[in-house]
Chain A
Amino acid sequence: DGGITQSPKYLFRKEGQNVTLSCEQNLNHDAMYWYRQDPGQGLRLIYYSQIVNDFQKGDIAEGYSVSREKKESFPLTVTSAQKNPTAFYLCASSMGQSNEKLFFGSGTQLSVL
């Protein structure tokens, strides 16, 4: 079955540590996105990539980094510079030039120890 897979489901970060969230899709979608969701709030865009080897900052990119070396994969690294990383992280993808319809992964809950 085609879909988008995020791992791990739960992740814990120690002070000063970098952690990487995985996102893989086999939908052959060109565009991929990372969103952050805090309790009781909507989704905020961290980074997005419209094509392999290219990505752009979203609204809250500080403290995060991404790479897009393969079409299928768009990992997100939460660096030590992100002082408040506890949140629910959602990866999504969309096909073609129009980003109207998003397909979401099941999310990763990141917490700080």
Chain B
Amino acid sequence: RKEVEQDPGPFNVPEGATVAFNCTYSNSASQSFFWYRQDCRKEPKLLMSVYSSGNEDGRFTAQLNRASQYISLLIRDSKLSDSATYLCVVYNNAGNMLTFGGGTRLMVKP
């Protein structure tokens, strides 16, 4: 089993739709969680951190479920510019390293 797993997609949604991605992680000792956005052939960029209480940034909401070991990303009112690959990233204090999921590709259509 991979340490961090994501549905690769693609998720094809119309503009204005709400879409959600999940990401599961295997190491219960994982401390911190992040969502990165990556455009084709570009570097990943931090989208948001994921806090235990959940957090929201505009149209984006991230949640953490430690009991079931998954994090989620919800995008409301999708824009064409949201089309990208979303990487789930998990940080483990013990190893002091980040582990990347394979990414979920989102395509927002007019």
CB distance from A109 to the nearest CB of B (A): 7
Contact of B91 among A41, A97, A99 (CB under 8 A): A99
Encode B1-28 as 1/0 by CB contact (under 8 A) with A: 0001010100000000000000000000
Interface hits, A61-108 → B, CB 8 Å: 88, 90, 97-102, 104-107
Instruction: Give the dominant DSSP class at B's interface.
Output: strand
Of B41-49, B61-69, B71-79, which binds chain A?
Answer: B41-49
Task: Answer yes or no: B29 CB below 8 A from chain A CBs.
Answer: no
CA distance A63 to B57 in the complex (A): 42
Report whether A41 and B103 are in contact in the complex, using a CB–CB cutoff of 8 Å.
yes
Instruction: Give the dominant DSSP class at A's interface.
Output: loop
Task: Answer yes or no: A43 CB below 8 A from chain B CBs.
Answer: yes
Report whether B42 and A99 are in contact in the complex, using a CB–CB cutoff of 8 Å.
no
Task: Answer yes or no: A45 CB below 8 A from chain B CBs.
Answer: yes
Task: Answer yes or no: A40 CB below 8 A from chain B CBs.
Answer: yes
Task: Answer yes or no: A42 CB below 8 A from chain B CBs.
Answer: yes
Task: Answer yes or no: B32 CB below 8 A from chain A CBs.
Answer: yes
CA distance A105 to B42 in the complex (A): 9
In the assembled complex, which residues on chain B have CB atoms less than 8 Å from the CB atom of A107? 41-43
Are A106 and B42 CB-contacts (below 8 A) given A40-B8, A99-B91? yes
Are A100 and B91 CB-contacts (below 8 A) given A88-B41, A107-B43, A109-B41? yes
Report whether B102 and A99 are in contact in the complex, using a CB–CB cutoff of 8 Å.
no
Contact of A99 among B45, B46, B96 (CB under 8 A): B96
Contact of B44 among A98, A99, A104 (CB under 8 A): A104
Contact of A42 among B41, B42, B45, B102 (CB under 8 A): B102
Closest-by-CB residue of A relative to B101 is A42
Report whether B41 and A41 are in contact in the complex, using a CB–CB cutoff of 8 Å.
no
Task: Answer yes or no: B97 CB below 8 A from chain A CBs.
Answer: yes
Taking Cβ atoms with an 8 Å cutoff, the residues of B that contact A are 4, 6, 8, 32, 41-46, 87, 91, 96-98, 100-103, 105
CB-CB nearest 5 A-B residue pairs: A104-B43, A42-B100, A42-B102, A43-B100, A100-B91
